[in-house]
Structure 1
């Protein structure tokens, strides 16, 4: 059955180009009314222009779809609230939020200013927080919502020169983990997308990448699934070049260690602690404590 979004209203941030543009066009092509949000800044967050968002709206309307442009900065909660109010006044609901807006200010940690660290975290993390907060109660009241955070392999696994970007992107995974739990009873499903694509954000890597394989359109099918009616929740979906993988945060079975030589025992038994045989994917943070208490009780005989 073809995946459709008729009657759904979607907000896509950072949708003036790259991945966001592709997401917006694809959602509109499948029936969604789309808010194309883009501040129109340079890759490092400087400047602004309404043109990119307006151009994407023109593409959508030219193909027979419905869309509206919005230039709110995701770092400005009041502007985001005003955007949401405008959408509700026009279309009466918000079903999908794609937190895609982002910037880069890459440098090694030794050379990075704290201002550059804060700014990147503010756009990626707090930008997603602001947009999600602005639609959260609307989605809960509707008993329907689909939210995607755009994470990155740089956050999941690290990348040289991207401590600010990586920290922000991994923080979005933590945000997703908790919101997916809190939104469950109202059918608000929250997921993460970790894309690999050739966009402004990755253009410096061009010489090292087969760019013809890394179009943003190769990522968007994963996004559409994550915001569909039958979407999962708490999924970290990686996508690029037509490949789709799933990332997990797991917990090993570990070892029970106590006594005055416990530090030395941790060092001596780190391989056993690290053994991934029987590892689990905890349903929530409390699972770690339960695993540890179970070990303690089994060794104490209680």
Structure 2
């Protein structure tokens, strides 16, 4: 018996790296898994369905239940078909793990509009489309008197929480996903749906390229950057046991589980009257001296 017995989960970008680790872990805990991946390159080019097929074969060989799906999460109608495929194959849907993403690293002064749009498209539109279709299904269940026990698990990033040099588009998209999670949690709880986000740090195609030295931990007693380290927390968030946890952003790395404190009001100076422009500088100096210093932007 696993903590996700009988639950059905869609995982986008599930053929490699973190998505693959999530798929295997969910299946090991009894979930029915939809392995969604169109098999693009790191930058979003090309198509290759074989990687998703391999993950499904691995799950089935271990006596798990899974199907492959090659639909594009950024296409509104295709995203609907992913949800339909999960229900057709397994009779229900409980969890959406939004993991698919691309990266187009570029210093801001060299960034192009095409790279910007492509990054926003995959991360923000991709998170929206499939979750929106899933919510339609879950809301209908709730209105029919059935508790959907549903979970949305989004993927933000340290880049989205604190910024990252040469990743303006990626950081912006991931920051937007963190905000989206807060809104989903606030709006969807009434329908029996929770929404949480992850900022995972692990070895993937993306991080091996950007942080090669940090990711090279394979020979250590504990491989801190093994993507399988992230999966247990994701599986728990997808289980019935996480019903009371929503609107949270978790940073995960190795054996660490950290919950983000989020944006909150800091020091304040109140004149109780309108400020003159020449007065503002001194007030800001006081605020800067009193605040908790922010984390540095990655790479700065």
- Alignment partner of 2:194 out of 185, 189, 197: 189
Structure 2 CA distance for aligned equivalents of residues 116 and 127 of structure 1: 16
- Please report the RMSD computed on the Cα atoms of aligned residues, expressed in angstroms: 1.7
Does 1 or 2 have the higher relative contact order (CA < 8 Å, sep 6+)?
Answer: 2
Contact 2:208 2:215 in 1 (8 A): no
**Could you report, residue by residue, the CA deviation over 1:140-168 in whole angstroms, capped at 9, with x for unpaired residues?**
23332101110000010011100010000
How far apart are residue 269 of structure 1 and its match? 2.2
TM-score, normalised by the number of residues in structure 1: 0.87
Contact 2:15 2:39 in 1 (8 A): yes
**Mapping of residues 228-243 of structure 1, within 5 Å:** 228-231=239-242, 232-243=245-256
Contact 1:3 1:228 in 2 (8 A): no
Say whether 1:250 aligns with 2:261.
Answer: no
How far apart are residue 241 of structure 1 and its match? 1.8
Contact 2:4 2:238 in 1 (8 A): no
How far apart are residue 3 of structure 1 and its match? 5.7
Say whether 1:261 aligns with 2:280.
Answer: no
**Could you report, residue by residue, the CA deviation over 1:100-147 in whole angstroms, capped at 9, with x for unpaired residues?**
000111001111111101101110111000110110121223332101
How far apart are residue 218 of structure 1 and its match? 1.2
SS of the residue 1:101 aligns to: coil
Shift in alpha-carbon separation, 1:255–1:32, aligned structure 2, 3 A: same
Say whether 1:221 aligns with 2:242.
Answer: no
**Could you report, residue by residue, the CA deviation over 1:17-43 in whole angstroms, capped at 9, with x for unpaired residues?**
000000011001000000000010010
Structure 1 CA distance for aligned equivalents of residues 67 and 154 of structure 2: 21
Name the structure 2 match of 1:69: 68
Structure 1 CA distance for aligned equivalents of residues 238 and 269 of structure 2: 40
TM-score, normalised by the number of residues in structure 2: 0.87
Say whether 1:147 aligns with 2:152.
Answer: yes
Structure 2 CA distance for aligned equivalents of residues 154 and 172 of structure 1: 11
Name the structure 1 match of 2:284: 270
**Mapping of residues 17-96 of structure 1, within 5 Å:** 17-96=16-95
Structure 2 CA distance for aligned equivalents of residues 257 and 26 of structure 1: 55
**Mapping of residues 276-295 of structure 1, within 5 Å:** 276=291
**Structure 1 stretches of 5 or more lacking a match?**
278-302
Paired residue total = 276
Structure 2 CA distance for aligned equivalents of residues 147 and 125 of structure 1: 14
Say whether 1:159 aligns with 2:164.
Answer: yes
**Could you report, residue by residue, the CA deviation over 1:252-295 in whole angstroms, capped at 9, with x for unpaired residues?**
25222354534444421225445458xxxxxxxxxxxxxxxxxx
How far apart are residue 207 of structure 1 and its match? 2.6
SS of the residue 2:11 aligns to: strand
- Alignment partner of 1:211 out of 211, 214, 217: 217
SS of the residue 1:106 aligns to: coil
Shift in alpha-carbon separation, 1:271–1:229, aligned structure 2, 3 A: farther
Name the structure 2 match of 1:106: 105
How far apart are residue 90 of structure 1 and its match? 2.2
Name the structure 2 match of 1:180: 185
How far apart are residue 12 of structure 1 and its match? 0.2
Structure 2 CA distance for aligned equivalents of residues 187 and 54 of structure 1: 32
SS of the residue 1:269 aligns to: helix
How far apart are residue 83 of structure 1 and its match? 1.7
Structure 1 CA distance for aligned equivalents of residues 201 and 103 of structure 2: 15
